[in-house]
Structure 1
Amino acid sequence: MRSDPDLAHAAAKGSEDAFAELVRRHQARVRGMARRLTGSAAQGDDIAQMTFLTAWQKIATYAGGTFSAWICTICWREFLQWRRRQKIEIEFDETAEIIPFDRPFDRSATETETRMDLARALDTLTEAQRVCVVLCVAAGLSHREAAQATGWPLGTVKSHVLRGVAQLRTCLANADVA
């Protein structure tokens, strides 16, 4: 089994198969991160797709370290670009209709309720807390990797994770969430 750096090096030389393997390995993490950041499966999937497209275009810039941190940093930047575009659209189109995405049929009611509870709990966090919790807890980055991805100081990331996780515990323990 080839390591991520070996696959990235082969992809930088033009190997589509090597890049496809990297996508297979990291797709779930990136999609989950993007979905949690946006709060939407469809928008999260769009950001994940843009993340891998950007990664393919910039694979030669991968300079080592953990590939998951590198790809999550790209995802974070794609999210920031998406958010900037959303603010512009909201500013100019006040009458836009919000259409919720359909719930998949293959999930059990309990699993769907649990996901809804987590989504509601994440919505109670400040944006900075939500970002840090998603990067460190959901995407599995270290505090240092999340700090590098966001450009925030390490201590700030640690405090946002600590406060965010505490808030999630409180919110999810509350009977009103369900």
Structure 2
Amino acid sequence: MTENENSNGTGYDEREFTGKRVLVTGGTRGIGAAVVRQFLDAGAKVLTAARSAAGTAPEGAAFVAADVGTPAGAKVLAEAARDVLGGVDVLVHNAGGAQPYRSALDIPDEEWRAALDLNFLAAVRLDALLAPGMRERRSGVIVHVSSAAVPAALPPFLHYEAAKAA
């Protein structure tokens, strides 16, 4: 075993987030669920959210249904983070998505707005609601998950890519 390896051989302390409070948006499936699981395995107390309770949060994580694509949903989630976790040390913006269209010219205004609300403004709103607590404690981390699709400029997802790039 090298100096930087632990017994798990990963090179990191598997309990390095013990005592940390983590909020992960879109954490009930895919990348978000994997992020939640990693933080739980590293000892963090985790709250995750999705638009509906249809998805299942990884075992050990608290869950709140909140549509972070709306100002009201962001507020509900920020309040839940304060109530359930007592504040946030790490905020991971993972929620995102959009419907594909045949052409960028086919994307209606309401889909552009929805893509911006979910993929960009959700992060802006939650940052505004939760970063002040981090600033007061002089500690905290905010992670914005983007997309490899951003530089591709694929017409069916142009609204998503523009919002993620923002």
Same fold, TM exceeding 0.5?
Answer: no
TM-score w.r.t. the length of structure 2 is 0.24
More helix by share: 1
TM-score w.r.t. the length of structure 1 is 0.23
